[in-house]
A = this chain, B = another copy of it.
Amino acid sequence: MNEIGGRRRVTVHDVARVAGVSLATVDRVLNGRPGVRAATVEKVEAAIAEIGFHRDLSASLLARARDIGVTFIIPDGSNAFMASSAEAIERWTAPALSDRVHIQILRVKALDGAALARALDGLDAKTCDCAVIVAGEDAAVLAAVDAATRRDIAVLTPVSDLPGSQRRHFIGIDNVAAGRTAASLLGRFLPQGGKVALIAGSLHLRDHSDRPAGFHAALAAEFSTIAVVGPLEGHDEASQTESIVAALLAEHPDLAGLYNLGAGNTGLVKALDNSGRAGAIRVIAHELTAATRQGLVGGAIDVVLDQNPDGEIRQAIAAARALALGGNGLSGNAPIEIGIFLRDNLR
């Protein structure tokens, strides 16, 4: 009794019966194989719509000879966000295996479009149904993405979108909104107005250029009493960020707020602590990592905006599964929300 509440499950047999064709023909239509007249295809599709047939993913997955392969290509290096993404991927590897999704991680040199393109080109459609990449806007990468798509490998681009490419799906936060949110919080934190510093990492990645745009726009629209210093570039690097912040603090004794939209937060916290002004300046940073966590708990950082890598990974896996199983992969996954963390709601 494959039923709940007395209704039998609708199967391919039902489709065949209603359409007045054989099972083999239904199968040909369902799996896009050749050898069916257009008129017959329509009959089958009408029957599918009429009785509300939905392919049973369990049986489908069981019947197809091979499992689903998903390859994550992530930048190598010391970037804390990427490290936590990698952790999240590893955390989900075993559970995904229960759903016959095999996960593989490939590391490439950070910010090297050519290397990423080579990695993409090297993917074999036999062992990889779906690639998940973090890419800058690079011509070589765009070409590689399109080539992979033509080889029947779906490409997902979390974190940073690739507008010009054939990518199937974007998973990630709205970085303009993130910048706006930082501005809006700082504005409310400083009702008297004041001087606020903006620190960027590299402007190469799209997410790092969207954020300042949103930040400036929101400040201009709502908080005209706040003046912005910068942007200064910390190159996502702890020691550089530390010296920049230290210089900044020395130069502006009246600094009231600070927004670091890049990485290198270890340096940020160190500089603030050393200056003795931690807690007196309202600070917003990005990505929940060991460094920003410590900053929150210690009081040097007020708010952390987070991309929720765990959620992104989960969604990427779900989307990959849906894509590989013939769905469109877009159904029913909400966009990732911007995580906002204070000391008080740290998970």
Contacts and interface: CB of A to CB of B under 8 A. Distances in A.
A177 interface: yes
A3 interface: yes
Contacts of A57: 58, 98-99
B345 A58 contact: no
Interface in A157-212: 174, 177-178, 180-181, 183-185, 188-192
Interface stretch (A26-34, A74-82, A87-95): A87-95
A59 B56 contact: no
A49 interface: no
B331 A337 contact: no
A67 B2 contact: yes
Given A66-B3, A127-B5, A335-B347, A54 B94 contact: yes
B55 A98 contact: yes
Contacts of A21: none
A38 interface: no
A342 to B, nearest CB: 5
Given A66-B3, A67-B9, A97 B54 contact: yes
A302 interface: yes
A215 B72 CA distance: 42
A57 B345 CA distance: 35
B66 A4 contact: yes
A65 B121 CA distance: 44
A52 to B, nearest CB: 9
Given A57-B98, A66-B1, A184 B344 contact: yes
A20 interface: no
B338 A345 contact: yes
A43 interface: no
A295 to B, nearest CB: 15
Number of identical monomers bound together in the oligomeric complex: 2
B65 A178 contact: no
A14 interface: no
B95 A56 contact: no
A54 B183 CA distance: 48
A12 to B, nearest CB: 14
Given A4-B66, A191-B189, A181 B98 contact: no
A322 to B, nearest CB: 9
A183 B345 CA distance: 11
A234 interface: no
A286 interface: no
A45 interface: no
Contact of A184 (B180, B342, B347): B342
Given A59-B62, A189-B191, 18 more contacts: A2-B66, A4-B66, A5-B127, A54-B94, A56-B100, A57-B58, A57-B98, A58-B58, A58-B59, A58-B62, A58-B100, A62-B62, A174-B345, A177-B345, A178-B345, A188-B282, A335-B347, A340-B345
Give the 9 A-B CB pairs with smallest separation, nearest first: A180-B344, A340-B340, A58-B58, A4-B102, A58-B61, A95-B332, A181-B344, A181-B345, A184-B344
27 contacts: A1-B65, A1-B66, A4-B68, A4-B69, A5-B69, A5-B104, A55-B98, A56-B62, A56-B100, A57-B98, A58-B61, A58-B62, A58-B99, A59-B62, A92-B332, A178-B345, A181-B342, A184-B342, A184-B344, A188-B188, A189-B191, A191-B191, A311-B334, A335-B347, A337-B347, A338-B345, A340-B340
